């Protein structure tokens, strides 16, 4: 299922959402220029749970800034075209109204905090993982969590490919995002139960952690309560 748009029209221009998409795109094109050296970039700036957890055992100081830099740099790196395209689509669909409600600066701070908390959750659940984690999905999961609690009655216009025929349906955000979250928990739990770590290459626990962070942080970050009609009723 591919989200196309929601049915609530934001009342302000989503400068930060657009800016984040632009920055992610810029960084991704820079990645492409690294060619065979890209692995070294990912190793240096991607988040590696085992390295973060064992930093002191590896001889580093507990509060060494280098330990914490990947918490933030990893969320602007991506592993391929499909990876960045999917993440930016979700950010565009769900980020605009969250930014509209929080305000531009608060939304930016919220986004970065959720991204950092997401990879910390990954380190908590998979502390032995040595595979670098990259991508904005943890931060965007936070945006989804905020959207889940603030716009549960919104509908998500969704593309469902049906035997190569595009089929568009409107799914309540409460169900769409609730199902998405349960899927992250299920897949994350399955990998833990099989001791597979991140065998699928997907940071399920970063997604789940970011989503929960988004729900909790949406309370202090919300600028003021708003009640808005879906676009088709406006």
Query: Which CATH fold topology does 2-233 show?
Result: Rhomboid-like fold (1.20.1540)
What are the backbone dihedrals phi and psi of residue 152, each rounded to the nearest 5 degrees, phi first?
Answer: -65, -25
Q: Residue 233: what pLDDT?
A: 33
Show the CA angle centred on residue 45, arms to residues 44 and 50, nearest 5°.
75
Q: What is the pLDDT of residues 44-96, one digit of tens each?
A: 999 999 999 999 888 888 899 999 999 999 999 999 999 999 999 999 999 99
CB 122 within 8 A of CB 203: yes
For the chain, residues with pLDDT lower than 50 are 227-234
What's the predicted TM-score (pTM) here?
0.90
Which tokens is 120 given?
A: 């910390």
Q: Residue 89: what pLDDT?
A: 98
Cα–Cα distance, 170 to 117 (Å, whole number):
31
Strand partners, 157: 5, 170
DSSP-assigned letters across all residues of 84-143: HHHHHHHHHHHHHHHHHHH-HHHHHHHHHHHHHHHHHHHHHH-TT--SPB--SHHHHHHH
Q: Residue 192: what pLDDT?
A: 81
Q: Residue 224: what pLDDT?
A: 58
DSSP-assigned letters across all residues of 170-216: EEEHHHHHHHHHHHHHHHHHHHHHTT-TTTTS--HHHHHHHHHHHHH
Q: Largest Cα–Cα distance in the chain?
A: 60
Q: Residue 198: what pLDDT?
A: 57
- Break the chain into its structural domains and give their ranges: 2-233
């Amino acid at each position: 299922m591919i989200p196309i748009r929601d049915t609530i029209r934001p009342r302000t221009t989503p400068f930060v959402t657009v800016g984040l998409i632009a920055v992610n795109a810029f960084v991704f094109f820079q990645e492409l220029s690294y060619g065979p050296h890209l692995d070294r970039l990912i190793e240096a700036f991607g988040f590696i749970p085992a390295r973060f957890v064992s930093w002191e055992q590896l001889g580093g100081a507990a509060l060494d800034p280098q330990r914490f830099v990947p918490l933030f740099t990893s969320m602007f790196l991506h592993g391929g075209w499909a990876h960045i395209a999917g993440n930016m689509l979700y950010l565009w669909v769900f980020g605009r109204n969250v930014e509209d409600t929080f305000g531009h600066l608060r939304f930016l701070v919220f986004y970065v905090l959720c991204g950092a908390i997401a990879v910390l959750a990954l380190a908590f659940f998979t502390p032995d993982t040595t595979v670098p984690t990259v991508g904005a999905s943890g931060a965007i999961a936070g945006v989804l969590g905020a959207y889940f609690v603030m716009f549960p009655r919104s509908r998500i216009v969704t593309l469902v490919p049906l035997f190569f025929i595009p089929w568009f349906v409107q799914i309540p955000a409460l169900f769409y995002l609730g199902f998405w979250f349960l899927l992250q928990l299920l897949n994350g739990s399955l990998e833990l139960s099989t001791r597979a770590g991140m065998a699928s290459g997907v940071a399920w626990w970063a997604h789940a952690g970011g989503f929960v962070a988004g729900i909790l942080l949406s309370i202090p970050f919300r600028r003021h309560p708003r009640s808005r009609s879906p676009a088709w009723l406006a």
